[in-house]
Structures are given as C-alpha cells and as structure tokens.
Amino acid sequence: MTPNRFGHFVAIDWSGAAGERQKGIAVAMAGRGHDAPRLIRPRHRWSRHEVLDWLRDELPGDALVGMDLGISLPFADKAAFFPGWTQSPADARALWALVDRICADEPHLSVNAFVDHPQASAHYRRHGGREGAQFGGGQGRFRVSELAQRRMGCRPYSNFNLVGAAQVGKSSLTGMRLLHQLGKSVSVWPVDPLPPRGPVVCEIYTTIAAMAAGRSAGRSKMRDARELDTALATLGCTASGITGPLDDHSCDAVITAAWLRIAARDAHLWAPAELSSKIARTEGWTFGAI
C-alpha cells in the first residue's frame, strides 16, 4: 500500500533532557507540493507536554508525523525486552504503558523512575560508570531496524544506552510516555497497521533524511540557512526563507519533513523485508530503514 492519502508531513526533533522546556525540540510541517516546510512556533522553546497537546488538538487529520526517537526497545535478539523480569511487557504498547505507569508521578514526561527501577536498571548503561548486569557490554543491544540503519551507513546508539551526547535512550522513553498518553487518537506505524484514514505517527532517524538530501552520515547536522536551503533544493523544495541564526534541531525538523513528503510515496519503505508482524508489534521500525 502506498499511502498517497497523506496531505501533511510533520517532523519532530525530540529531546529527553531534564526540565520542562527543551531547546532540543523542534516541529516542522510540510504540505503537498514543493514549498519548504515551515517551523511550527519558530524560536519557541517547547515542552514535551506542549507537543503532546499539539498532536492531540492541532494535528491535521491527514498528517504523517515522524518523531526522532526510538518507539520501542530491542526484543527480537532475546525474545523479550527485559529477560528475567516477570513484568517484561509482551509488546510495544504494553511497554509504553509500563514506562508511563512507573513514572506517573514525574512531571514533564520524565523517566528517571524507570531507568532507576531495580529491575529495569539492570538492562541500562547509566552515567557514573553504572552498567547493568543485563546491558550486554560493548555497544549494547540493538533492534532489527537499527541493524538495518547501520548497514545504510548510519550510527545508531542502543536505546539501552543512556551515556553520551548522541544517546537516545531517555528521549525514547519520554517519547513512549507521550505515545501512551496519545492513546488511540493516532495510529503508530508499524505497531499499529497502517489505517486507511486518520493521522499516523512513525519513528524517524533524521540522519536518513539528511543523507537523502545530499549530506553524509558524519555531516548530517546543519546550522545555517545556506546549508539548509542547499539540502532542501536536493529534495526538490523551494528555499526556506528562514533568516537569522539556526540550530541543528530546527534544520533537522525542516529537512525531515521535506523528506517525509517524498518518502511516504515509496511503497518499499512501508514494507521492509525484515519487518515481520512480530517485530512490528514489539520493536517497531524506523521509517526509511531498509
């Protein structure tokens, strides 16, 4: 199925950092055609709850939303998210519910209670040299989609790793709280089958979009309008019209929204060879990874 029904394409650069408002969150949206995506609330410092409210209340009904986070954890390699823990969930939606329940008393969709949980923490590499006995050593465990990303030349981190500037472990967990609280107001591909109508959220990796726009994996980040407009032109877009200082989060969101508009028409990206129904329900997938 090629989902030509989408008319709006949203990219959200996400953050799991501490605090209420995040300089690392940016939201951009493109419509049909060739106009450059526009930033939603440019120069606004979003909170995670504001993004949740925007998705609930302002998202167009024909939108495809890419979120730059891991929508799940490794499962296929050990037939479980958390081997040996009796509460280890059976699928991604149950995982989101578990994370949100354990962290219910934390503000800002924070997840400290989960990564410090006696059973869950055994699977994480945390700051201060704390590596859980189940982390597995080395770079940690990877999902099948992350292995596909590596073959494409990307450099994903394990979602069980919480150390380093490029780690996405906490942003993924905070995103899982958001996805759980969204409930069934949107479908989350491929955890949910692609529906014939209504908004859809998918996982993105902004490096894949930047590579499609002519950047290398090692130079995927852009921080000025000239670089951004060059990349947009490669994707067949008009210039952004953005002036003044730009951060890499805003550039990531704009470029990825432009890429989503093109990529959504590619039927092969919706049916990766390794994406079984079990992987879809448990690990999910990164849209664009093949």
Q: What is the pLDDT of residues 74-121, one digit of tens each?
A: 999 999 999 999 999 999 999 999 999 999 999 999 999 999 999 999
Burial class (CB in 10 A: 0-12, 13-18, 19+), 100: buried
The pLDDT of residue 245: 75
pLDDT for 143 beyond 90: yes
CA dihedral defined by 133, 134, 137, 139, rounded to 10 degrees?
Answer: -140
Confidence tier at 164 by pLDDT (50, 70, 90) = confident
Beta carbons of 265 and 4 less than 8 angstroms apart: yes
The pLDDT of residue 201: 98
pLDDT for 2 beyond 90: no
How many CB atoms within 10 Å of residue 90?
Answer: 12
pLDDT for 204 beyond 70: yes
Mean pLDDT for 133-148 is: 95
16-27 residue pLDDT tens: 999 999 999 999
The pLDDT of residue 3: 63
Ranges 128-132, 150-154, 237-241, 249-253: which has the least confidence = 128-132
Q: Dig out the tokens for 272 from the structure.
A: 């990766």
The enclosing H or E element of 172 equals: helix 169-182
Mean pLDDT for 114-131 is: 94
Burial class (CB in 10 A: 0-12, 13-18, 19+), 25: buried
